[in-house]
Amino acid sequence: MTTLELRHRLEQSKDFNDVFSLVKAAVEKTIRLHRAGLTLVLSPLPNHIGAYHVMGSNLIVMNRNILAMVQATSSSKAEENAFVFSILTHEYLHALGFADEGTVRNMVKKISIENLGEDHLVVQMSSGDFLKLYPQLRTLAPDKDSNGYEIVKDFDSSSMPYIG
């Protein structure tokens, strides 16, 4: 898939699974690693945590509060998708066994540049502090009404070629 094709498909992505299929393609193209069978959970987390992967598990947990803030303040669906791409790429690399945060940040930037181009918003997101892009995170209050979690249906569905 070319850079232009990936950019277009990312802009047109409708859900987490669409974005994650692009994350997996980009990671595999750049570092030749792949993993199947992951589950995405949305959960309220402290504002300084965008997401996390439980090492040794198949879970990626994304901060529902930050996601909602990005969705409410972004200028387009493409911006939302860029945010999700950057977060999922970071956590997918953890799921592939990369534990060091600095190494993973650098890998996300490299993968983003190689697959989306240096001028893409994902590169900007992977290069620095989210507070520069989203200063409203400083004042984002935790969602007190939501202390549960939500499992995202049909996530990583490209890894399941049949219904079992």
138 part of a folded domain: yes
Pick 131 or 41 by higher pLDDT: 41
69 part of a folded domain: yes
70 part of a folded domain: yes
113 part of a folded domain: yes
Strands 39-43, 51-53: pairing is unpaired
Whole-number pLDDT of residue 95: 97
Could you report the per-residue pLDDT of 121-160, keeping only the tens digit for each?
A: 999 988 776 777 777 777 766 655 556 788 998 898 876 5
How many C-beta atoms surround the C-beta of residue 28 within 10 A?
A: 13
Whole-number pLDDT of residue 91: 97
Whole-number pLDDT of residue 164: 45
Per-residue tokens: 157: 């569905």
Q: Is residue 104 pLDDT above 60, yes or no? A: yes
67 part of a folded domain: yes
Please tell me the total count of domains within the chain.
Answer: 1
Whole-number pLDDT of residue 28: 97
Whole-number pLDDT of residue 76: 93
Arithmetic mean of pLDDT over the chain: 89
3-class DSSP state for residue 124?
Answer: helix
Q: Give residue 11's domain range.
A: 3-159
164 part of a folded domain: no
Pick 31 or 132 by higher pLDDT: 31
85 part of a folded domain: yes
Contact 15, 127 (CB under 8 A): no
Per-residue tokens: 1: 């898939």
Task: Give the per-residue SS3 of 74-117.
Answer: CCCHHHHHHHHHHHHHHHHHHHCCCCCHHHHHHHHHHHHHHHHC
Integer Cα distance of 63 and 48 in angstroms: 9
37 part of a folded domain: yes
Task: Please state the φ and ψ torsions of residue 117, each to the nearest 5 degrees.
Answer: 95, 150
Whole-number pLDDT of residue 159: 64
* Of residues 127, 83, 103, 79, the one with CA closest to residue 31: 103
Could you report the per-residue pLDDT of 76-96, keeping only the tens digit for each?
A: 999 999 999 999 999 999 999
